[in-house]
Amino acid sequence: MVIVSSRLGPNDAAEAGPFGAFLRQFRKNRVGVVGAVLVILIVASAIFAPFVVTHDPTRIMVGPRLAPPSLDFILGTDQLGRDTFSRAIMGSRIPLLAASVSLSSALAVGLVLGLIAGFGPRWLDNLLLLVFDTIRSFPSIIFALAMIALLGPSLASVILVIATTSMPIYARVVRTQTEAQRSSEYIAAERSMGAGTTRILAVHILPNVLGPLMILVSMDVPAVIAVEAGLSFLGMGVRPPTPDWGAILNDGYNYIDRTPWLVIAGGIPIVLATLGFTFLGEALRDIFDPKLRKDL
């Protein structure tokens, strides 16, 4: 009852295996391909940022302050004379780090709690649901601002806030999927053959809930990038002088009349990253979600 294998026809599997079939379907989705290219470019620029930057992104040079784009400074300089291009490239690391750490933490915790809620006793399910709903009942941006006011602005605070607010969503999805599987006949058969809870969860239930979860996570990445940039824009994200898209946008906003390239340098990467991850997420959803598959 693994979703991926159940969707492949016998000929597909014989010709190229599950991955080949996935690639074949993915290539048909042009928007998805554009998204994948953007994501690859952004991730690559984050990984290889130290080799791509043309200047030290934190080095202050008062001389070329707010300089326009030139051969020396491709996207000009900010109010402290720092190279904006280098800051934008290095700045890609923070949102991607925030997204990967916060969402993987939320996923891990949500998965465990969701499985417990879905497979555990009713009272524990009710208790966990109460916790999930309590966390979700706070407007996320207000919750973020309150948490950061308590913890102080830092990347760790941003990650903690995003992980905390995302976790209940994943946990609820896992719980619903687990509950659905729990009462199915094949689980009852497994149980009658003497399989323990751990085996049932690990071998049967987990693979079935992972697919929808991965789609959910990929769709959440752009939201996390936007939240992280938003908090940094408000001065509640990473601390100066760490390069970050939101911080660049904030610097640029103060000089928008004179030096629009600062806002462009901070804004364009956010747009491209959110578009890239959204396109990619939607393509994955189209492929993995049976209700939306075009070939069904």
Among 137, 142, 194, 257, binds other proteins (CB under 8 A): 257
Give the Cα separation of 81 and 86 in Å (integer).
12
Site map (CB under 8 A) of other proteins, residues 188-227, x = contact: ----------------------------------------
Give the Cα separation of 280 and 253 in Å (integer).
30
Site map (CB under 8 A) of other proteins, residues 229-248, x = contact: -----xx---xxx-------
Joined tokens for residue 136:
């979700």
Among 186, 254, 268, 290, binds other proteins (CB under 8 A): 254
- The reply to whether 141 sits near other proteins by the rule CB under 8 A is no
Minimum CB distance to other proteins, residue 256 (Å): 8
Coil, helix or strand at residue 77: strand
Stretch that binds other proteins, among 21-29, 41-49, 77-85, 125-133 (CB under 8 A): 77-85
Cα within 13 Å of Cα(139), Cβ side:
3
- The reply to whether 62 sits near other proteins by the rule CB under 8 A is yes
Q: What Rg, from alpha-carbon coordinates, does the chain have? A: 23
In terms of CB distance, is 35 or 153 closer to other proteins? 153
In terms of CB distance, is 16 or 80 closer to other proteins? 80
Coil, helix or strand at residue 15: helix
155-182 and 206-233 helices, crossing angle to 10°:
160
Minimum CB distance to other proteins, residue 65 (Å): 7
Contacts (CB under 8 A) with other proteins, residues 143-162: 149, 152-153
Among 80, 131, 219, 272, binds other proteins (CB under 8 A): 80
Whether the bond between 207 and the residue before it is cis, its omega within 30 degrees of 0, is no
Stretch that binds other proteins, among 25-33, 135-143, 214-222, 251-259 (CB under 8 A): 251-259
Give the Cα separation of 76 and 74 in Å (integer).
6
Joined tokens for residue 16:
């190229």
Among 12, 26, 65, 207, binds other proteins (CB under 8 A): 65
Stretch that binds other proteins, among 35-43, 74-82, 84-92, 190-198 (CB under 8 A): 74-82
Within the chain, residue ranges assigned H as helices are: 3-7, 10-28, 30-47, 49-52, 84-91, 93-119, 122-137, 140-151, 155-182, 185-192, 197-199, 206-233, 245-254, 260-288
- The reply to whether 291 sits near other proteins by the rule CB under 8 A is no
In terms of CB distance, is 78 or 286 closer to other proteins? 78
Minimum CB distance to other proteins, residue 245 (Å): 17
Within 48-92, residue ranges assigned H as helices are: 49-52, 84-91
Residues that bind other proteins (CB under 8 A): 58-60, 62, 65, 79-81, 149, 152-153, 234-235, 239-241, 251, 254-258
